[in-house]
Amino acid sequence: MTYTLEGFIDDCRAALKENAGPAGREKVRQLLERLLANAAFVDTAVGPQAPIGTRKLYEDTEMGFVVLAHCNPRPHRSPPHDHGSSWAVYGQAVKHTDMTEWRRTDGGTAAGAADLEIVRSYRLEPGKAGVYDVGAIHSIDYPDGSRFVRVTGRDLDYVQRLKFDTAARKAVVIESATAGAG
């Protein structure tokens, strides 16, 4: 049976209710990979006819999670950033995204002086999803035509987040989460 967006949403609700911690988010990652195997969903959400930009496919008013389609208009390399008090699951649909996971080594959690080191780097290929938990820091780098589906624990427009300037060795608050696809 085809795994639809509606089925995915129901399963995410159940998974996040059953486990409010990392295990629930890992389940969302697995479910997103299953959803991305549905070619009709991918075509509708992020296919050639889908509108360019970021659009909300679903927001759960009870649990707070959001499903977003990212039809990126151009190649982009983000700075390292977190998702504040939220988590994020990225599911690659078209082309790829190079992911780098970082760790803060200065012991801080707030804006200001900050040092980072790379934990690991890998490429998300179509059909694959990665989970970035609360407080995790990552950067993304994708080519022209890369498209992905992202699930966040909360609407990031209302979450205070940090981005990192590794050259200047500092963390700054992201003023508007809608400015990028990070």
What 3-state DSSP class applies to 109?
Answer: coil
- Measured in whole angstroms, how far is the alpha carbon of residue 54 from the centre of its chain? 12
Min CB(125)–Fe ion separation in Å: 18
Residue nearest to Fe ion (CB): 182
Pick 84 or 182: Cβ nearer Fe ion = 182
Binders of Fe ion: how many residues, by CB under 5 A?
Answer: 1
Min CB(150)–Fe ion separation in Å: 8
Please give the span between the terminal C-alpha atoms of the chain, in angstroms, as a whole number.
Answer: 33
Two tokens at 151? Answer: 């699930």
Check: CB of residue 133 under 8 Å from CB of residue 89: no
Q: Does 182 bind Fe ion (CB under 5 A)?
A: yes
Binding string, residues 123-162; x marks residues near Fe ion by CB under 5 A: ----------------------------------------
Min CB(10)–Fe ion separation in Å: 25
What 3-state DSSP class applies to 30?
Answer: helix
Q: What whole-number distance in Å separates Cα of residue 121 and Cα of residue 139?
A: 9
Pick 38 or 78: Cβ nearer Fe ion = 78
User: Could you list the residues that contact Fe ion (CB under 5 A)?
Assistant: 182
